[in-house]
Amino acid sequence: MTPQARVQAAIEILDEVVTAARGNGAAADTIVARYFKTRRYAGSKDRRGVRDLVYRAIRTFGEPPATGRAAMIGLAKDDADISASFGASGHAPPAIGDSEIATEPALVPAWLRKRLPKWLDDAELAALLDRAPLDLRVNRLKSDVATVREAFREAEPIAGLADGLRLPHGTRVDDRAAYQDGLVEIQDAGSQLIVEACAAKPGETVVDLCAGAGGKTLALAAAMNGEGRLIACDAIRSRFAPLPDRAARAGATLEMRLLDMNREHEALGDLVGTVDLVLVDAPCSGTGTWRRNPESRWRITPAMIRTLANEQARLLDIAASLVKPGGRIVYAVCSLVEEEGPDRVDAFLSRHSGWSPDDAGSAGRPAGAGRVLSPAHDGCDGFFFAALKANDASA
């Protein structure tokens, strides 16, 4: 492909990405892969070049562009090569007309900026769009830090995490014996810090209410050293599906319960009032994980945040019913939107008089009754988390 044909290809792909974002359709990665499936003439350099252009546009424009062409004209303003592609020969996009609109760069959609905390300034927001590092968690059920560092000599310790190691960008992990044998898990430092805030102990009864594929469940299992009861729950079968294999690889013992959405209690009745710790790693808008998924800025809507906030409140109430007197909830979201974080915890505390904020450790910075982590401040994904304790007298 000529360089100008790559620009045209990026325009066509971005048109599809914008349409998919509006209609909750396929992710950009899927659209890029589909595009090249029917264009076998494109070599690996072409694919990489086009993909880079698509992701540059996604990172540069906080609001979804009107069209792929408007996005590329926007990028052309600061890039002479892209600019020269318009109107050139060789499958190039047509020349830019005088009245054509260019998308303006922005870190986030304007409406969303108002929902984010004041401390999240431009530097903090820009860091949310940086490249994410590759973090490992040493699995204490099977190994120790010294052994894993022998296997990953390029790994560096992560400050504040005894079991955390950071690898250089682009390191292949899945083909390494230490990974295949379950000595390590790939896990962002922020997720590891949240599990530390859980302070789960051997012998306890612990529920991971929104376990997904079990990233935090496996870290809880390691903290419990295989002693006690660990119950992983989720309401979406496909999210849950990888957990049995992952648990076997990690040497973790756990129970799994698939919940019915809106009828979660049916599968949890026997646990009411008996649990030491419930982790509520709630579904959220994912604003803290834009480094991995910048395209989600084009998908998020105010209505989505409202729906998520209701669901987060409902899950917190379910968690409260499971906890025994003196027990705890750790609530976490990988979002920095206040309605999903501090506001949810404040609302929970006003609904439940028998609960109070509890010690959530010292990672990150205080935010309302909880704490926040951010890439600029903590070098990990953005999270809000809070620990809540049920008074001994009532839950």
Q: How far is Cα 146 from Cα 215, in angstroms, rounded to an integer?
A: 22
Which residues, in sequence order, are CB contacts of 249 under 8 Å at separation 6+? 180, 181, 182
Q: How far is Cα 51 from Cα 238, in angstroms, rounded to an integer?
A: 28
Structure tokens at 92: 């190039």
C-beta closer to ligand SAM: residue 235 or 369: 235
C-beta closer to ligand SAM: residue 72 or 211: 211
8 Å CB contact between 212 and 185:
no
C-beta closer to ligand SAM: residue 203 or 242: 242
Which residues are annotated as catalytic?
Answer: 334
Cα 288-328-189 angle, rounded to 5 deg: 30
234 carries a ligand binding annotation: yes
- Measured between its terminal Cα atoms, the distance across the chain in Å is 65
Q: Least separation, in Å, of the C-beta of 235 and ligand SAM?
A: 4
Q: Least separation, in Å, of the C-beta of 261 and ligand SAM?
A: 5
Region of 361 (left: φ > 0; alpha: ψ -120 to 50; beta: rest) is left
Which residues, in sequence order, are CB contacts of 364 under 8 Å at separation 6+? 193, 371, 372, 373, 374, 377, 378, 383
Structure tokens at 241: 């599906």
What backbone torsions phi and psi does residue 239 show, to the nearest 5 degrees? -70, -35
Compute CA 116 distance to the chain's CA centroid, rounded to the nearest angstrom.
17
Q: Least separation, in Å, of the C-beta of 116 and ligand SAM?
A: 19
C-beta closer to ligand SAM: residue 211 or 224: 211
Annotate 10-48 with DSSP letters as a single string: HHHHHHHHHHHHHTT---HHHHHHHHHHT-TT--HHHHH
What are the residues facing 257 on neighbouring strands? 233
C-beta closer to ligand SAM: residue 31 or 207: 207
Q: Least separation, in Å, of the C-beta of 10 and ligand SAM?
A: 31
8 Å CB contact between 363 and 351:
no
Q: Three-state SS for 97? A: coil
In the complex, the residues that contact ligand SAM under the rule CB under 6 A are 191, 209-213, 215-216, 233-236, 239, 259, 261, 264, 281, 283
281 carries a ligand binding annotation: yes
Q: How far is Cα 67 from Cα 101, in angstroms, rounded to an integer?
A: 10
C-beta closer to ligand SAM: residue 84 or 272: 272
Q: Least separation, in Å, of the C-beta of 319 and ligand SAM?
A: 10
Q: Least separation, in Å, of the C-beta of 111 and ligand SAM?
A: 23
Known binding site: residues?
A: 234, 281
Annotated binding site for S-adenosyl-L-methionine: 234, 281
